[in-house]
Amino acid sequence: AQSVTQLDSHVSVSEGTPVLLRCNYSSSYSPSLFWYVQHPNKGLQLLLKYTSAATLVKGINGFEAEFKKSETSFHLTKPSAHMSDAAEYFCVVSVEKLTFGTGTRLTIIP
């Protein structure tokens, strides 16, 4: 069985400050992990993926995530938030199929 828990349903940060979106996972096997972003009325876009090659994964638009097996976590970070980062973010675990978390809505305060 596999699952993901996104620890915050809503995160608000000021423009220019760091972003932290938290994700814990559960998997019986070594998982692949992804972060997807969904802007309003748009499809899901892949931000980054972990495939066991490196624990620190760099993605698009300045985002990165660190895989910590001991903590079963895969938190998403960005050093400086931009207004265009406002969206819904999904942490995803993949063994035989993609299993999505419930999402974190990121709001950027001007």
Partner 1 sequence: ETGVTQSPTHLIKTRGQQVTLRCSSQSGHNTVSWYQQALGQGPQFIFQYYREEENGRGNFPPRFSGLQFPNYSSELNVNALELDDSALYLCASTLMSGTTTDTQYFGPGTRLTVL
Residue 29 is given by DSSP the state S
By beta-carbon proximity to partner 1, the closer residue of 46 and 83 is 46
Q: What is the rounded CA–CA span in Å between residue 17 and residue 94?
A: 31
- First-to-last alpha carbon distance for the chain, in angstroms, is 41
Query: Where does this chain bind partner 1 (CB under 8 A)?
Result: 31-32, 34, 36, 41-46, 49, 51, 90, 94-103
Closest contact distance (angstroms) between CB of 17 and partner 1 is 26
Closest contact distance (angstroms) between CB of 85 and partner 1 is 19
By beta-carbon proximity to partner 1, the closer residue of 65 and 103 is 103
Closest contact distance (angstroms) between CB of 101 and partner 1 is 5
By beta-carbon proximity to partner 1, the closer residue of 56 and 97 is 97
Q: How many CA atoms lie within 13 A of 104 on its CB side?
A: 26
Q: What is the rounded CA–CA span in Å between residue 56 and residue 21?
A: 15
* AA letter at 46: L
By beta-carbon proximity to partner 1, the closer residue of 80 and 107 is 107
